[in-house]
Amino acid sequence: MVAKEIQERKDIPNEYKWDLESMYESVDAWNEDYKKCVKLSKEFEEFRGKVVNSSENLLNTLKKRDELYRLVENLYVYTHMKLDEDTRLGSSQELSGKGLSLYVEVEEKTSFLIPEILTLNEDKLNTYMDEQKELKLYKHYLDDILRMREHILSAREESILAQMGEVANSPQKIYSMLNNADLKFPVIKDENGKDVEITQGNFIPLMESKNREVRKTAFESLYETYKNYKNTFAATLNGELKSHIFNANLRNFSSSREASLSENNIPLTVYDNLINAIHNNLDIMYKYMDIRKRALNLDELHMYDLYVPIVKDVDFDIPYEQGVEIVKKALSPLKDEYLKGINEGFNSRWIDIYENRGKRSGAYSSGSYDSNPYILLNYHETLDNVFTIAHEMGHSMHSYFSKKHQPYIYGDYSIFVAEVASTTNECILLDYMLNNVTDKNERLYLLNHYLESFRTTVFRQTMFAEFEQLIHEHLEKGEAITADYLCETYKKLNELYYGPDVVIDEEIAMEWARIPHFYYNYYVFQYSTGFSAAVSFSEKILNEGGAAVDNYLNYLKSGSSDYPINVLRKAGVDMTTEEPVNNAMKLFKRLVDEFDALI
C-alpha cells in the first residue's frame, strides 16, 4: 500500500493499523475495567493512616497499589491511543477525558501513601524487610521515596496536589487540541504543481523537496498560521511553565529544573555539561552549515534549506514493507533474542502506520505493562521515516524486555534512558547502510543523513533544552512570558546555534509554538544525552559484539530497577562524565570532514 493522499481512517485496511482490540475489544469492556478500578481506588483508602503500622500492612498496601495502578494504566493508555487515531472524534475525546479523570482520581486516592512511608526511619524499614521477605522486592522503590523526603508534603497537601492534576494538565491538553485538531494550514502547490494541504505529518517531507519554492512556501505558510495564534500559544505555554514552577516551589526545590531532574536522580551537571559541550563544538556545526551552503550552490542559506538533502539525484523512495526489511537486517548484530522480539512486533499489529485525517502528528511508542508495546507512525516513503521505524521499535523493544524481565513496580523505565535504546537502533541502521552502499552519491546522501541526525537530535535538541531553561528561569525571576519574548529568545538561540552562514528568517521565531515537547517539563535534553550514549553503545556493539551486546540487552532488561545513571554505567556508559558527549562530537567532526572531502 502506498499512502500518498491523506485518507479517512475507515479507508485504511486493518493490517496497517494497530490492534487496540487486544487491550479492550469494546468500550463496554473498557467500562467494566473502569468500574473495577473505581472500586479498587475506594478500597485502597482503607489503608489510610495504617500503611506503616506493621510490616504486613506495608506489604499489602504496596501490592494493592500495584494492582490499582496496573489497571488504571491500562485504562488511560488505551484512551490516549484511541484519541490519537482521530483527535476530531467527540466520543474518543470524551473517553480520553474520562480516562484522565480516573487517573487523577487514583492519584488523589493514593496520595497518602508516600507521606506515610516517609514516617518510617531506616532501622524500622530494615526490621520490616526482615519480617516480610517479599518487601525486599520494593527496596529500591522505598529507598527512592526516602531520598525525596524533604520534597514530599503532608498527606493532606499531597491529596490537594493530586486533585489539581487535571487542572495542571489543561495547558498541554488545550495546546494539543489547538495544534492537532483545530489548526488548519493552507493548501500550496507541490513540486508537481498539484494542490497539497500542509499538515503536521507532511511538513518535513515538504521541507525536503528539491524545489526551493515549495520549501519556502511551505515554511512561510506554516509559520504564518502559527503567528496568527501566537498569543494563544504563548498563554498555553505560560500556563504550563507556571505549573512546573508552582510544583517546584511547593516541594522545596531551588528551581523547576532541579525538581524535574530530581525525579530520576539526575545531577544538574549532566544538563550543564551537555550545553557547555555543544557550545564548545559549535564551530563544527558552522562548518557543516558552510558545506551545506556550498553544496546547494546558494548565495544565502535559509532556514527552509536545512532539511533538503544536500546530495542531488539520489532518491530513497522506500515503501513501508521494504523499510521494515532494511531495519531487520541492520539490527542483526543484536542477536536472536532481540530479533525475535522485533519480528513479533512487525507481525502482530503493534504499529499504526499511515497518516489519516485527524490523527495525532509525529511518532511515538506507547503501551501498558499488560499490553503489547504500540507504535504510532505517520509513514511517508522517505529515508527519514525508515529511521523512525528503527527509532520507535527501539523504544518498544526497551518496553518489551523491561516488562518481560521486571515485576510491575520496575516494569517501566525512566525518561532519561528512554531515548538511548531508540537512537542506538538508528546508529546501527546507519552503519549498516553505509557499509552496504557502493555509489559515492548514495554514501554522501547517507553521511548527510547521519549529520542531520546530529544536527536535529544533538544540536537542535540542546538548543531546545537551552530555550526551555531560559524561559523557565525568566519566569522564575518574576518576568512576564509573552509571545514577543518567546520569539526573540528563540530567534537569538537559532542565530547562536546555526552561525553566520545561515539566514535566520523571521518566521523561525515562531517555531517554539510547533514543538509539543516544551510541555513535557525538561524532557528534550534527554534526546541529546541519549544520542551521545547511543553512539557509545552502537560503537561497542558493532566493534566488540559478544559481551557488549549482552551488556546492552541487560540495560534493556533493567527497567527502573536502579537509577538511570547506574543502569547506563553498569552497561558501560557513564553519563556523569563529559566523555559520551565529547565522543559523539568527535564522531560528528569525523563525519563532517569526510563529507567535506567527498562533496
Asked if 282 and 536 touch (Cβ cutoff 8 Å), the reply is no
Q: Does residue 145 belong to any structural domain of this protein?
A: yes
Q: Does residue 208 belong to any structural domain of this protein?
A: no
214-240: pLDDT as tens digits: 999 999 999 999 999 999 999 999 999
Which residue range(s) make up the domain with 110? 9-168
- Does residue 3 carry a pLDDT above 70? no
6-26: pLDDT as tens digits: 899 999 999 999 999 999 999
Handedness of CA 524, 108, 562, 116 (dihedral sign): positive
Q: Does residue 198 belong to any structural domain of this protein?
A: no
Helix axes 230-250, 460-476, angle to 10 degrees: 70
Taking Cα atoms as reference points, which of 336, 338, 404, 313 lies closest to residue 367? 404
Sheet holding 364-366, edge to edge: 351-352, 374-376, 364-366
Domain count, the chain: 1
HSE-up of 166 (CA within 13 Å, CB side)?
A: 14
Taking Cα atoms as reference points, which of 86, 75, 17 lies closest to residue 354? 17
The CA–CA distances, whole Å, from 6 to 2, 9, 266, 321, 354 equal 11, 9, 42, 19, 9
pLDDT at position 419 is: 87
* Spatial separation of the C-alpha atoms in residues 574 and 585, rounded to whole Å: 16
Asked if 379 and 354 touch (Cβ cutoff 8 Å), the reply is yes
Note every long-range contact of 155-159, with CB atoms under 8 Å and residues 24 or more positions apart, other chains counting: 155/48, 155/111, 155/112, 155/115, 155/116, 157/250, 158/111, 158/112, 158/114, 158/115, 159/108, 159/111, 159/112
Q: Which three cell numbers stand for residue 188?
A: 500550496
H or E stretch at 301: strand 301-302
Q: Does residue 330 belong to any structural domain of this protein?
A: no
Q: Does residue 61 belong to any structural domain of this protein?
A: yes
Q: Residue 110 sits in a domain of what CATH number?
A: 1.20.140.70
pLDDT at position 4 is: 61
DSSP reduced 3-state for 187: strand
Strand partners, 149: none
Q: Which distant-in-sequence residues (6+ apart) come within 8 Å of 202 by Cβ?
A: 6, 196, 355, 380
Handedness of CA 85, 89, 94, 100 (dihedral sign): positive
Q: Does residue 45 belong to any structural domain of this protein?
A: yes
DSSP reduced 3-state for 302: strand
Q: Does residue 525 belong to any structural domain of this protein?
A: no
44-76: pLDDT as tens digits: 999 999 999 999 999 999 999 999 999 999 999
From 73, 240, 392, 511, the catalytic residue: 392
pLDDT at position 161 is: 83
pLDDT at position 417 is: 93
H or E stretch at 188: strand 187-189
Q: How confident is the model at residue 156 (pLDDT cuts 50, 70, 90)?
A: confident
Q: Which three cell numbers stand for residue 99?
A: 480516562
- Does residue 1 carry a pLDDT above 70? no
- Does residue 303 carry a pLDDT above 80? yes
173-185: pLDDT as tens digits: 999 999 988 999 9
Q: How far apart are the first and last CA of the chain?
A: 35
Asked if 231 and 484 touch (Cβ cutoff 8 Å), the reply is no
Beta strands in 489-589 (DSSP E): 502-503
Mean pLDDT to the nearest integer, 324-338: 97
396-453: pLDDT as tens digits: 999 999 999 999 999 999 888 988 999 999 999 999 999 999 889 889 989 988 998 8
**Is 46 a catalytic site residue?**
no
Q: Does residue 411 belong to any structural domain of this protein?
A: no
